[in-house]
Amino acid sequence: AIMRRVTAYGIAGLLGASLFVSALILLHLTRADIDWTTHYVSDFANGRLGSVFVFGILVHGLGNLALDLGLRRSLDPGPLRAWAVVLFGLSAAGIAVAALFPTDPLGAARTPVGLVHWVAATVSFPLELVALFLFSAAFAGNPFWRGRRGLSFALATVAAVALAGLFLAVSLNGMPGLAERLALASFLAWEFWAAFQLARLPSSPAARKGGPA
């Protein structure tokens, strides 16, 4: 029963990320007023089909919370797992908060709601990045995950480079929208991969000793 629940968490994580990506694709195809090189994806919350973005980012946050619970249940107890779960959970909660508190419209003065969105979105990225590396390290102590930790570290490293590029682009005001989308893609790559692993986790303890896939 526990392993079936872990598998369900993985499926929920896949669903949340997939719906978020689907929402972004739809919005990029239909919202010509948003420049994907200079505007942030959060700007989709204002204007036509804004509710589609809010829904997408909300289910993404909830999906990441499910992924977090699944990873916690699939790993052995320890400080690495504990910190990874806390930080990834905080990041997922931050994503959900960013959905509930939309960014301010382009050109408008910052409001308390917009400030909450900015803080939640800004903090979520580094929190999740640290969690990715901690999860990767925690994988070494589990038979199922041990052979997968190399790919996890590689994906986390790509996310770190992309996040550094985002912060640099924002500070230099050099195509921050593009940099944000690249960072989002790198984090989503790890999330999709981890959720897929959970969704196909073997039900028997003996089978979970298998190698990487």
* pLDDT tens for each residue of 94-149: 999 999 999 999 888 999 999 999 999 999 999 999 999 999 999 999 999 999 99
The answer to whether the CB of 199 falls within 8 A of the CB of 140 is: no
Position 1 scores a pLDDT of 58
Asked whether residue 212 is assigned to any structural domain, the reply reads no
Per-residue confidence at 4, pLDDT binned at 50, 70, 90?
confident
Asked whether residue 71 is assigned to any structural domain, the reply reads yes
Per-residue confidence at 23, pLDDT binned at 50, 70, 90?
very high
Q: How far is CA 73 from CA 66, 68, 126, in A?
A: 11, 9, 23
Q: How many residues does the chain have?
A: 213
What SS3 state is found at 110? Answer: coil
Tally Cβ neighbours within 10 Å of residue 153. 16
* pLDDT tens for each residue of 159-200: 999 999 999 999 999 999 999 999 999 999 999 999 999 998
Strands (E), the chain: none
- Judged against a pLDDT cut of 60, whether residue 18 lies above it is answered with yes
- Judged against a pLDDT cut of 70, whether residue 207 lies above it is answered with no
Position 2 scores a pLDDT of 58
How high is the mean pLDDT of the chain? 93
Lowest mean pLDDT among 3-7, 40-44, 166-170: 3-7
Asked whether residue 25 is assigned to any structural domain, the reply reads yes
Position 213 scores a pLDDT of 42
The answer to whether the CB of 104 falls within 8 A of the CB of 118 is: no
Position 210 scores a pLDDT of 41
* Total domain count, the chain: 1
Per-residue confidence at 202, pLDDT binned at 50, 70, 90?
confident
The residue range of the domain holding 198 is 2-203
Q: Which two tokens stand for residue 197?
A: 């692993």
Asked whether residue 76 is assigned to any structural domain, the reply reads yes
